[in-house]
Amino acid sequence: MIIQSNFLLGVGLGQYVPNLSENREFWQYEPVHNILGLLLSELGLIGVSILLVIIGIGCYTLQYGYKKQR
């Protein structure tokens, strides 16, 4: 599996489909329906962690930054 072989760093953005095995039907080359699985395979654990921190900082700023301005 892609996630098991590249757990920490992933395979890179947009590289999920090219890294699938070659003996698949055409319709099986679609990206996964599980977004977390797609992010883990492309970004790796480190990339997903950084992405979640950035989203968390943005949510914190929206929630508490607005209250401080009032």
Give the per-residue pLDDT at 68. 63
pLDDT, position 39: 85
State the DSSP H helix or E strand holding residue 36, giving kind and residue range, or none if neither: helix 35-60
Q: What is the pLDDT at residue 49?
A: 94
26/38 Cα distance (integer angstroms): 19
Amino acid at 1: M
| pLDDT less than 50: residues of the chain | none
CA-wise closest residue to 9 among 39, 49, 45? 45
Q: What is the model's pLDDT at position 40?
A: 85
Cα–Cα distance between 61 and 48 in angstroms, integer?
Answer: 20
Whether the model pTM is above 0.85 = no
